[in-house]
Amino acid sequence: MPVDNFEELTNQLNGMSEDKRREKIKELQVDCVCPICPTYNKCAKETEENIFCIKGKSNCVKKEKGCMCPTCPFAAKFKIGVIYNFYCMRGLEIDQRKL
Ligand code: SF4
Ligand code: SF4
């Protein structure tokens, strides 16, 4: 399968220093709608979790109550969030593709 934009982004992030990666993720997370999702909870808010598609599973979310990833501008831009989602519970987009 050809490498898509999301895979390219993942490769870029993996090749960055910790600082640069953190900076880049901070830019990207502005578009993440997780904080307004019914599955997102108080613990996730308090620990500032988000952009699970890139960061992986949540340490807080334990129950799926619907997923807003299909409505997310970041997901639309990188064509993710429809086939795979619930990243907070199910893990990274890249890992879900391998299952
Ligand atoms: S796709 Fe989901 S996890 Fe990723 S940024 Fe959008 S809302 Fe957040
Ligand atoms: S990954 Fe999906 S289910 Fe989880 S908080 Fe974000 S929008 Fe909600």
pLDDT value at residue 49: 98
pLDDT band for position 30 (50/70/90)? very high
How confident is the model over 7-19, as pLDDT tens digits? 999 999 999 999 9
From 25, 32, 37, 88, give the residue whose CB has the most ligand 1 atoms within 8 Å, as the site to mutate: 32
pLDDT value at residue 1: 55
Q: How far away, in angstroms, is 92 Cα from ligand 2 center?
A: 12
Enter the DSSP assignment of 36. G
| High-pLDDT (> 70) share of the chain, % | 98
Residue 41's Cβ-count burial label (10 Å; 0-12, 13-18, 19+) is middle
Q: Among all chains, which residue has been given the structure tokens 């613990």? A: 43
The residue extents of the domains of the chain are 5-98
Mean pLDDT, the chain, whole residue set:
96
SS3 98: helix
User: 34 CB less than 6 Å from ligand 1?
Assistant: yes
